[in-house]
Amino acid sequence: MLSDTFPKRVEREEQLETWLKQDISMISTDYMVIARQVTTDFGGVIDLLCQDSTGDIVVAELNRGKTPREVTAQALDYASWVTDLSHQRITEIANDYLAENKSLETAFQVNFGDELPETLNEGHSILIVAESMDSGRERIVKYLPAQCIRINSLTIQHFSGQDGKELLAHLTKNFAPHPESVAASECGSKGS
């Protein structure tokens, strides 16, 4: 019963990561997780690496509590690494992660009901998930889509019931448009 639930802070970032890894559809039915805790060539660690139904990569940066604007800079750094990932490298990363020896091709077909596109990562986006955001992050996340950088923000809240059941709800979204919906003259020929 919802009236028996009460807000509760996410105790550990790994807890949030585990919930979203298990069911990324809480955020979007257009995403599938292809890796967790991916170390970039720059030494950073991406919380969740996802792929959308077009084959584009989504960098998901997760934070418990209030997210300062520095997290946005961190996510942008990760995106700078993702932008150059080849089809082969994405496939290797995904195949190393996916359970039960399921290949990226199989997982893509199961999740999206379509064949894996021949070209992957034509574009990429950033998703920042946190319990709240400071005004600096909010300004940046509103500004970057106008510069054709696909960055999305999702504020979540964790609830716990007296019966021990837990609920994760998203409260606010700021989702940037896909580059195909933005005129080519606004973002150049490719977008971001």
pLDDT (tens digit per residue) in 32-74: 999 999 999 999 999 999 999 999 999 998 876 556 667 888 8
- Domain assignment present for 156: yes
Q: What is the largest CA-CA distance in the chain?
A: 55
**For residue 125, pLDDT beyond 80:** yes
Q: Any idea which of 62-76, 104-118, 138-152, 155-169 has the lowest mean pLDDT?
A: 155-169
pTM score, whole prediction: 0.73
Task: Give the mean pLDDT of 80-101.
Answer: 90
**For residue 76, pLDDT beyond 70:** yes
Range list of H helices, 83-160:
87-97, 104-112, 135-143
- Domain assignment present for 55: yes
Domain extent, residue 70, equals 2-187
**For residue 169, pLDDT beyond 60:** no
- Domain assignment present for 34: yes
Task: Give the mean pLDDT of 13-42.
Answer: 82
CA-based nearest residue to 153, from 58, 36, 57, 13: 58
Q: Provide the number of structural domains found in the chain.
A: 1
CATH of the domain at 104: 3.40.1350.10
- Domain assignment present for 107: yes
- Domain assignment present for 192: no
- Domain assignment present for 36: yes
